[in-house]
Amino acid sequence: MTDPVRPVLHARGITKFFPGAIALADVELALHPGEVHALLGENGAGKSTLIKCLTGAYACDGGVVELDGQLVDPGSTQESQKLGIGTVYQEVNLLPNLTVAENLFLGRQPTRWGMISRRRMAAEAAEVLAGYGLDIDVREPLSHYSVAVQQVVAIARAVEMSGRVLILDEPTASLDQGEVELVFDVIRRLKARGLAIVFITHFLDQVFAICDRATVLRNGHVVGTRALADCAPRDIVHLMLGRQLESEVRERHGGQGGEVLAEIDGLGRRGMIEPFSMRIRQGEVIGLAGLLGAGRTETANLIFGAVQADQGGVRLRGRALSLKGPRDAIAARFALCPEDRKTDGIIGDLSVRDNIILALQARQGWARPIPRAKVEEIAQGYVRALDIRAASLDMPIRLLSGGNQQKALLARWLATEPELLILDEPTRGIDVGAHAEIIQLIERLREEGMSLIVASSEIEELVAYSTRVIVLRDRVQVAELEGGEITAGNIVRAIADEDREVA
């Protein structure tokens, strides 16, 4: 980088390995004095890992961090605090039962003849907070004040203790609009004081409201650093989600699908997702696109009955279904591969074989056990068909790799011969080979006439297999793309909220 000003903090070549994965690969981050720098990326892109490497919570496996041109290597968060790097997390990391002043000065209280001077502490605390535009009684317990005020106190504490670099990890996630303004006001004051600030959030509008530059991470790599003044939200979404947007054109095989299998009519749940309607035809893949928190998973869960809808309904071939829970959905030949494989998918201690037959067995009921020979046939069949690599079908499924676990879960649902298969992030956290195989499998199932709904944050993936894409933003369906309209560009535009209505 050829910057006119020397960066306050310059991290270069930061690399971090986790067992079996590269969390960060050769990451560079430069922070200038008086700038607010957004750190962006989907979940798992490496934002938190990078922060932890900078603050000494993790030891880097490679790379250097320079602070004001000096090489530093903080071994712990305390050490990095002393060096001048302060961090504020989404969950306020203070002690709610202590007073505001005590929280500000905990561990370094002003003393008088070896005793803590409460009066001086209160006076100094009030003075410090006045510098942040906060006029509150510092002798009240912290829990007395709103989360936003607590957040400001946390920022004040971090700045007073460190004072050169401030890292804000989703500080606004649980704040409402007015409170966000309060925090932004504080950030602007600190910016004027010349601090370098890292701001992490999932809200793009906030990024454009407060930040000067943004660094975007994807899969542990820096995919770009942009000055926000000369780019649009679309560019940032591109960076966050896109892989190779050049290859966005592909031949569309398969058509509109066959007859209507299911109709979803105003299905919704208050506070979770706005009512939505869609028609699902046989032999089509409906992609659900949107940023994190846009409502992809909620849509999937609602259709499957994993979460109860409080309005609307689902009709299967014109007949109304009562979906009180997954059991009803399974009886109607729906299937859902959930997003969180570990907590909602696998039964870790059970064998691969038992995991594969579980849904089928549950639908048959306990009194009709699947005969051993049939179990073996089903399990072996799917192990071959999906190329599940396990040393033995008797081994607990938790010992398998992520990709093989996912394939075993797909096998569990395919064994129930579903008519509608809902996949929530089917390719998250699995290796490249399994990734391609799962995409091929989706294509094959569609060709065989199955209906699929696939929620994914990988846009190229959606472009590759969807016959229709529904775009969600802020828990509302905002666009529906069909046929030739399905391009990464169009999806990104719809996600980024540009004035483009798609027919």
The site for another protein (CB under 8 A) is made up of 304, 306, 325-327, 330, 336, 338, 343-351, 353-354, 358-359, 361-370, 372, 375, 394, 396, 412
User: 287 vs 345, which CB is nearer to another protein?
Assistant: 345
Q: What is the DSSP string of 325-377?
A: SHHHHHHTTEEEE-S-IIIII--TTSBHHHHHHHHHHHHH-TTSPPPHHHHHH
The minimum distance between CB 180 and another protein, in angstroms, equals 33
Note the maximum CA span of the chain.
85
The minimum distance between CB 351 and another protein, in angstroms, equals 8
Indicate the SS3 state at residue 142.
helix
The minimum distance between CB 418 and another protein, in angstroms, equals 11
Cα–Cα distance, 43 to 495 (Å, whole number): 17
Question: Residue 239 — φ and ψ, nearest 5°?
Answer: -65, -40
User: 303 vs 495, which CB is nearer to another protein?
Assistant: 303
How far from chain centre, in Å, is Cα 22?
18
The minimum distance between CB 404 and another protein, in angstroms, equals 16
The minimum distance between CB 417 and another protein, in angstroms, equals 13
DSSP state for residue 247 in the 8-state scheme: G
C-alpha pair distances (Å), 410 with each of 300, 342, 384, 423? 16, 14, 13, 9
How far from chain centre, in Å, is Cα 475?
15
The minimum distance between CB 424 and another protein, in angstroms, equals 11
Cα–Cα distance, 69 to 71 (Å, whole number): 7
Contact 48, 90 (CB under 8 A): no
Contact 101, 121 (CB under 8 A): yes
Cα–Cα distance, 34 to 54 (Å, whole number): 19
User: 80 vs 355, which CB is nearer to another protein?
Assistant: 355
The minimum distance between CB 350 and another protein, in angstroms, equals 6
User: 15 vs 351, which CB is nearer to another protein?
Assistant: 351
User: 233 vs 345, which CB is nearer to another protein?
Assistant: 345
User: 223 vs 337, which CB is nearer to another protein?
Assistant: 337
What are the start-end ranges of the E strands in 282-341? 285-289, 311-316, 319-321, 334-337
The minimum distance between CB 326 and another protein, in angstroms, equals 5
User: 131 vs 326, which CB is nearer to another protein?
Assistant: 326
Contact 492, 235 (CB under 8 A): no
Indicate the SS3 state at residue 492.
helix
The minimum distance between CB 359 and another protein, in angstroms, equals 5
The minimum distance between CB 370 and another protein, in angstroms, equals 7
The minimum distance between CB 347 and another protein, in angstroms, equals 5
User: 274 vs 328, which CB is nearer to another protein?
Assistant: 328
The minimum distance between CB 55 and another protein, in angstroms, equals 33
**Residue among 336, 20, 264, 39 at smallest CA distance from 165:** 39
Strand order in the sheet with 451-455: 334-337, 420-424, 451-455, 285-289, 468-473, 476-482
The one-letter code for the residue type at 357 is I
User: 329 vs 442, which CB is nearer to another protein?
Assistant: 329
Strands 111-112 and 196-200, sheet pairing: unpaired
User: 209 vs 395, which CB is nearer to another protein?
Assistant: 395
User: 248 vs 425, which CB is nearer to another protein?
Assistant: 425
User: 2 vs 343, which CB is nearer to another protein?
Assistant: 343
Report how many helices (DSSP H) and strands (DSSP E) the chain contains, helices first: 16, 22
Q: How many CA atoms lie within 13 A of 431 on its CB side?
A: 11
